[in-house]
Chain A
Amino acid sequence: MSQEKVGAVMVVGGGIAGIQSALDLADAGYYVYLVEKTAGIGGVMSQLDKTFPTNDCSM
């Protein structure tokens, strides 16, 4: 059975990888469902003080 393709993508997990995938896909013209199990996105990266090797602010 062939079904019609759907122009939407689901991303499971709202950390930095999930956010980047979701943004790329939305920018490219797809509708994205970003599924996050906690109350907000950001994941572990939001908990970091700075990032290596540039000491950039993680937030």
Chain B
Amino acid sequence: MNIELLTLAEVDAISGSEGNFKVTIKEKPRVVDMEKCIACNLCAEKCPKKVPDEYNMGLAPRKSAYIKYGQTVPLKYAIEPETCIFFVKGGNKGKQGGGKCRACEKYCPTGAIDFDQEHKDEYRDVNVGSIILTPGFTSFDPSVYDQYQYSNFKDVVTGLEYERLLSSNGPCMGHLTRPSDGKEPKKIAWLQCVGSRSMNKCDNGYCSSVCCMYAIKQAIVTADHTTGDIEQTIFYMDIRTHGKEFDNYFGLAKAVGVNFVNSRIHSVTPGNDGGVEVEYFNENTGQRVVEDYDMLVLSTGLEVSKGLQELAGKLNVKLDKYNFAESSSFAPSATNIPGIFASGCFQSPKDIPQSVTDASASAASASVALSSQRGTLAKERTFPPEKDVAAEEPRVGVFVCSCGINIAGTIDVKELTEYAKGLPNVVFVDNNLFSCSQDTQVLIKEKIKEHNLNRMVVAACTPRTHEPLFRETMKDSGLNEYLFEMANIRNQNSWVHSKEPELALQKAKDQVRMAVAKASMLQPLEHLTVNVNQSALVIGGGISGMISALGLADQGYETILLEKTDRLGGNAWSLSTTWRGEEVKPFLEDLISRVENHPNIKLYKNAQLKTNMGAVGDFVSEVDIDGEKRAIRYGIAVVCTGGKELKPDEYLYGQDERVFTHLEFDKELIDHKPALEKAKGAGVHSVRGFA
């Protein structure tokens, strides 16, 4: 409610500075009246004009009247003037030259489409204090590599195209088939680093950082989308699995039989039985290998979208040589313009968890300068008054989620739905493709009203991620949010019993029956209001702890920072420069000085947390400060206790003074100890390890 979505919109002009920008937004016409559209799909069904569907990477058509995908937000159809027959043939410019068709207008049951009205770009000005740029990336177009035959062979696809082929809401409905002839592929190859780490045809001299992992993922999940045996081979230059749990995932791929071949495919020719024939050199034997595959997936890299240079130009935001936002290692979300921040793949290529972390960092940075204005423009959400259902008999509605094929691929959701209809107190049951989508929330609200439901059960995934959404739907329907129960038939059932669909169905019936029984006994609960302690605790005074403390303190929150040694800075004291040559010491000294002098930061050195009690909003801890025990209270805590370098007992470490860990070696570089002189000419070998 405090997020206003401006779709089909782009930044047209900007003026002002940090704290107060004026931005002109250009909104293209949607043609469909969003207030009236009920997303019934009739306009798209009747529209005679087929165009390639961008959402499916052009692998399937959509209509000129369309939504991007079934769960799209906002769930309102749009008509594309560039392809719509009515607009292409002249629109409403007079009776003689006017366009015809108007099928969608004729069939729209709510009158949401009006071609008589003029539809043109609209401009509006908005005032904002900060701007965050998250325009994302474009998948590299591999047509420039003639040898991979992407433009000529249908069975050569990009990583993102393959993603659509796998997807349950993609053109194959989750059951993978080969684009050329619709056969199920049995042997698939991936080629890594297409459009990344290459200056030959694309000037992309950087690693896109996600392709190794997405290729491994695609190879692992391909088996779920096909029948029988499947052979997957990944041709790579280096496998980069640097994120949390990533290397285990790589190990899993090897364990389930995915082949990894350290070689680049040299050329691609038509296969003997459709598909492709690839030629490469086995790097171990030096032998030339020619092999047939049903499909070849090019693991295409991430590029900044073409239009972004124009946007950056309008905002005066500097770009680096690859057109990503220019930023320093010490403030990665900041651009060269105060008040404008860059996040996600526009900052640098990155995966989803990193994008989310990055986005939260930008949001925190953006709010620092505006903290005095917090809450001045935000509105509070109101819900309809709660119905008193205490005296009513339970009337339970059950919504069974297919979760694409996540649940429906294992459990017979139709039979489960029929079964639920016969359970005590159940008055309505429905099956949804995705129970969590916005359109389903609208449907649930309608059904609650229509059948006068007073309890709800959703048989889907985990309440940990989705319960808040359904509770909100309950509140929107005037029901107490606690008259709701979830049955986790995905994580606790279809995912773990995928090989036993019959037993999984039995278990799902049990789960739904239990959830319905529990829901029937639920009573409304009321929220208590308690005061929240608006102060924070940060544990650890390294770079991460100090940045966290400053972020909180700059927003006006009292912050306690605990450091277990007598000096802030942590491991960073051992580092001389970043790989880009930025000096660490001046940055660190500035950071320490800001932390030590900040009026909102209480710094305790030689301090360790001993106990922790309470819950979010009101924690209490015992802290040992210089040997003295003290109690502290706080509302939230950020743990930044850092990492410790592994000290090995191998490689002559600790026995020969010429053997260093990398942190010790960096420290040597700072201190210029004579040991370095001794090492001159002896060569430096690196053995890595970080605990």
Contact = CB atoms under 8 A, between A and B. Distances in A.
Q: Do A and B belong to a common assembly?
A: yes
B370 A5 contact: yes
B617 to A, nearest CB: 15
Contacts of B572: none
- The number of chain A residues touching the other chain, given as a range, is 35 or more
B366 A59 contact: no
Given A25-B366, A37-B10, A8 B377 contact: yes
B178 interface: no
Interface in A8-43: 8-26, 28-43
B189 interface: no
Contacts of A10: 11, 21, 23, 126, 128, 130-132
B10 A17 contact: no
A12 B343 CA distance: 10
A33 B406 CA distance: 34
B134 A31 contact: no
B2 A31 contact: yes
A22 to B, nearest CB: 5
Contacts of B7: 14, 36, 38-41
A13 B136 contact: yes
B137 interface: yes
A34 B3 contact: yes
Contacts of B137: 44
Interface in B206-258: 213-214, 216-217, 220-221, 243-246, 248-249
Interface string A40-56: 11111111111111110
A59 to B, nearest CB: 6
Nearest to A5: B19
Contacts of B61: none
Given A4-B20, A13-B344, A50-B221, A34 B5 contact: yes
Given A5-B370, A16-B356, A11 B134 contact: yes
Contacts of A48: 163, 167
A15 B344 contact: yes
B328 interface: no
A39 B343 contact: no
A36 to B, nearest CB: 5
B682 interface: no
Nearest to A22: B3
Contacts of B248: 53
B352 interface: yes
Contact of B129 (A7, A22, A49): A7
Interface stretch (B67-75, B385-393, B590-598, B658-666): B67-75
B603 interface: no
Nearest to A57: B406
A34 B364 contact: no
Contacts of A19: 359
B4 A17 contact: no
Given A12-B134, A21-B360, A29 B217 contact: no
A53 B437 CA distance: 24
B33 to A, nearest CB: 14
B47 interface: no
A52 B10 contact: no
Given A44-B136, A44-B160, A49 B170 contact: yes
B359 A6 contact: no
B377 A30 contact: yes
A39 B73 CA distance: 8
A20 B6 contact: no
A36 B20 CA distance: 21
Interface string B352-372: 100110111011101101101
25 contacts: A7-B378, A8-B127, A12-B133, A17-B362, A18-B132, A21-B343, A21-B360, A22-B3, A28-B374, A30-B374, A30-B377, A31-B379, A37-B9, A39-B30, A39-B68, A41-B7, A41-B72, A42-B71, A42-B73, A43-B136, A44-B136, A47-B55, A48-B163, A53-B244, A53-B245
Interface of B: 1-11, 16-17, 19-21, 23, 25, 30, 54-55, 57, 66-69, 71-74, 76, 78, 126-137, 139, 160, 163-164, 166-170, 174, 213-214, 216-217, 220-221, 243-246, 248-249, 311, 343-346, 351-352, 355-356, 358-360, 362-364, 366-367, 369-370, 372-379, 403-404, 406, 434, 436-437, 461
